[in-house]
Amino acid sequence: MPTQTKAAESRLGGIMNSDELRAGLLAAELTYLRNQIIEQLCKWQRCRDDRDLLSALNTVGELVAIEDVEPKNSQMSVALI
């Protein structure tokens, strides 16, 4: 089966191989973490509660750890975002 057909099937809900699934989940997690950072920083800006700032910094640490472990996939996920 041609590669384009496989990719189209995956996007349309067909069979997805483990690499595609892993890349998709990683991209979703990175997007979620980035959104959490923005939300926490916005809360901190409004209230100046240091717990929100510390929470944002902890989330940044998680994001960096994921990107350091998966440098090839994180570059791909950034392109997807």
Decide: helix, strand or coil at residue 79: helix
Q: Average pLDDT in the 27-45 region?
A: 92
Phi, psi of 27 (to 5 degrees): -60, -40
Torsion sign across C-alpha atoms 61, 66, 70, 73: negative
The pTM (predicted TM-score) of the whole model is: 0.59
User: Where does the pLDDT of residue 81 fall: very low under 50, low under 70, confident under 90, or very high at 90 and above?
Assistant: very low
Report d(CA 54, CA 65) in Å as an integer. Answer: 17
Q: How far is CA 80 from CA 16, 23, 36, 47, 58, in A?
A: 17, 10, 18, 33, 24
Indicate the domain borders of the chain. Answer: 21-80
